[in-house]
Amino acid sequence: MDVVVSVARKTDGRHWADLFSAAGRSTEMFEECFQRRWYRTAACYILVIAKLEGPAVSQYCALRLLQATLDESLYELAGELVRFLLRSGRDFENANTDSEKLSPRFMGYLLFRSPYKRQSSDLKSNSMKELSPHINSVMNILESHASYLMSGKELSKLVAFVKGTQFDLVEYLQRERQGSARLENFASALELIGEKLQMDTLQSRLDAEFLLAHMCSVKFKEWIVVLATLLRRAEVLVDLFRHDLRLWKAYSITLQSHDVFSEYLDLLSALEEELSSVSDRTLQSNGPVS
């Protein structure tokens, strides 16, 4: 399979029909690669299928392959497939006169919906509603995977997924604040996310910084508090707590009342000192005018 598609890539596309009439039908070779989970090789057949079988068939194959690569956490390859799907979308739309010939299975795949979304998440933003069906198909698959990762707090994979596919994490977080991205309880979230991220490794700290930046951009307080605590980003916490003393009090009580968080007591002391200093400066600046 590798040899045939490598020959195709080095051969003028005008000769592909002759090549695959001898080697075998491109869709059948793609299917064999797909079934054997040779996903990188299967991806190489997508362009051949687009030329020999048409954009509708290549879109179908690419959508199936996209879902499979996401399931296997092959995010760089998934990103390449996303770019192909969006780029070839115009060709697919131009071939919409063939839609009546498409199988029910194919049409069902285009109407794919995420099992992880809340019911209310089906109400898309105006920008999502304006997207063409083929783009919606890609976005639905990507959002489903994002929800799967977020629900399981597989955060390192989420970062790799976002970077590999250029998925719009900010827009997703804005819609899912009360859905898959919601944190029910600070104490349990801090413990679970700490276990998932394994903050003693550099890559995990970089992943946490990446997520913290996105959470700050959407002002997602619950996540900001958890990630800033794990990263010991005192300046972020001080900036948050000095505007919300009730949150500071709840945060302080929680860390002090759970033995598992004893490692953060030094951070708590530093925060208390800094917040006291901020409070004193505020009182002085607001003092009586002589």
Among 221, 148, 138, smallest CA distance to 179 is for: 148
% pLDDT > 70, the chain:
81
CB atoms within 10 A of CB 94: 10
Are the CB atoms for 108 and 63 separated by under 8 Å? Answer: no
- 160 vs 109, higher pLDDT: 160
- Contact between 211 and 159 under an 8 Å Cβ cutoff? The reply is yes
Choose the weakest-confidence range: 29-38, 121-130, 215-224.
121-130
Rounded Cα–Cα distance for residues 221 and 207 (Å): 18
Q: Average per-residue pLDDT in the chain?
A: 85
Mean pLDDT for 14-25 is: 93
CA dihedral 9, 15, 19, 25 (to 10 degrees): 90
* pLDDT band per the 50, 70, 90 thresholds, residue 88: confident
Q: Write down the pLDDT at residue 119.
A: 34
- Whole-model pTM: value is 0.81
Residue 125: pLDDT above 50? no
Long-range contacts from 258-261, C-beta under 8 angstroms, 24+ separation:
258/187, 260/191, 261/187, 261/190
56 and 102 Cβ atoms separated by less than 8 Å? yes
Q: Tell me: pLDDT of 163 over 90.
A: yes
Share of the chain above pLDDT 90, in %: 73
Q: What is the mean pLDDT of residues 80-91?
A: 85
Largest pairwise CA distance in the chain: 96
**63 phi and psi angles, rounded to 5 deg:** -65, -45
Q: Which two tokens stand for residue 20?
A: 């695959």
| Angstrom distance (rounded) from CA 2 to CA 233 | 49
Indicate if the pLDDT at residue 252 is higher than 60: yes
Pick 129 or 216 by higher pLDDT.
216
pLDDT category of residue 95 using cuts at 50, 70 and 90: low
